[in-house]
Structure 1
């Protein structure tokens, strides 16, 4: 490959501007949805001109896809951290706690991802059937090994993972509803942490 064919590495300013655009896009997409969001809104939220935004990203689709791909990678990371040599119940409980903490720390990201899936995931179908499925199958295989060795109660490992997603991401995707029902003086995430730890302890102890 010649020097002319090599892609120059982005400068710190370019990296910063890309990050600023993606952060602004997250705010706009999570509030307006993909169809309702515009490049003009993203540019305004980023404090940049529309041509400047389009210098870094070819289109709204390009921004959205970059945002979702990065989000999915972050979402999958806790699955990668499951230790096959660890103590089974502790590993599952750690995964539950991390997923709940992510819902608390990244509610916009959770809602954006949920909205994409509810729309049929047109921009993520290939990734969902590839990278995501591969990671989930790997974690489910670890859980299945622990179940077969008698270290966890007999449950379907894939549906165990689905249940963890549902019971943790609910607090981000429906946070307004949760807080409205609980009322003042409650910390939904702290209370959920205690509840879920007890729930999975009772469910999974052999």
Structure 2
């Protein structure tokens, strides 16, 4: 439903907005914010530049809209880590969800990575206000599991960083992954990646492993 005092968007307006954001995601994920231009996004969306600017007044507006829409999705797998669950299975499930996101949302992963690599000018406040408290909360859960002997001794923050690095690598460095892998795996690296990550983390996480 449209906000009070505003008209609901027409079907063509919804279609154009969706096309613009999809094109912007392509351009930003490939070129980063600084390398992207409104002209590139308009061309990818199949719209004139003036038509695009009717919907979004600047590339900053498109970038911020994409980042805002991505945040909840990006944090959802970590939020789902259940303090009452089996520690090893909860962490493996988190790693699995992150890997699946790299498979299904590679452009979004690269958008996020490009923003962070550029100093997070549009995300710094969000990282401090939303990401850090969530990581602090889940790191405390992991530390508690480890202290109780339900996980091997480990540093909870670096464990989370390791999961990010291993899973997001398959999206952010997709070309490198597919170039280096044997041809039989290069078409779809994710099944073997999933088995490898689960085996590695299970050995690291299990007490006495």
Residues 1:30 and 2:15 aligned together: no
Query: Structure 1-normalised TM-score?
Result: 0.91
C-alpha spacing 1:59/1:205, structure 2 compared with 1 (3 Å) = same
Displacement of 1:144 after TM fit? 1.9
Displacement of 1:59 after TM fit? 0.8
Query: Structure 2-normalised TM-score?
Result: 0.89
Which stretch shifts more, 77-86 or 46-55? 46-55
Displacement of 1:35 after TM fit? 2.0
Which stretch shifts more, 53-62 or 196-205? 53-62
Report what 2:203 is aligned to. 202
Provide the rounded CA distance (Å) in 1 between the counterparts of 2:12 and 2:76. Answer: 27
Report what 1:52 is aligned to. 51
Deviation per residue, 1:98-146 (Å, 9 max, x gap): 1111111111211121111111111111111111111211221221222
Give the length in aligned residue pairs. Answer: 203
C-alpha spacing 1:6/1:163, structure 2 compared with 1 (3 Å) = same
Provide the rounded CA distance (Å) in 2 between the counterparts of 1:89 and 1:183. Answer: 31
Any gaps of 5 or more consecutive residues in structure 2?
Answer: none
Which stretch shifts more, 161-170 or 73-82? 73-82
Displacement of 1:49 after TM fit? 2.4
Contact 2:30 2:110 (C-alpha < 8 Å) held by counterparts: no
Displacement of 1:173 after TM fit? 1.1
Contact 2:56 2:62 (C-alpha < 8 Å) held by counterparts: yes
Provide the rounded CA distance (Å) in 2 between the counterparts of 1:7 and 1:161. Answer: 43
CA RMSD of aligned residues (A): 1.8
Deviation per residue, 1:13-69 (Å, 9 max, x gap): 433332221111011112222222211221121122222222221211110111122
Report the 3-state secondary structure (helix = DSSP H, G, I; strand = E; otherwise coil) of the residue aligned with 1:151. Answer: coil
Deviation per residue, 1:158-202 (Å, 9 max, x gap): 111110000111111111111111131013211111111011111
Provide the rounded CA distance (Å) in 2 between the counterparts of 1:27 and 1:103. Answer: 15
Residues 1:61 and 2:24 aligned together: no
Alignment of 1:47-196 (within 5 A): 47-186=46-185, 187-196=188-197
Any gaps of 5 or more consecutive residues in structure 1?
Answer: none
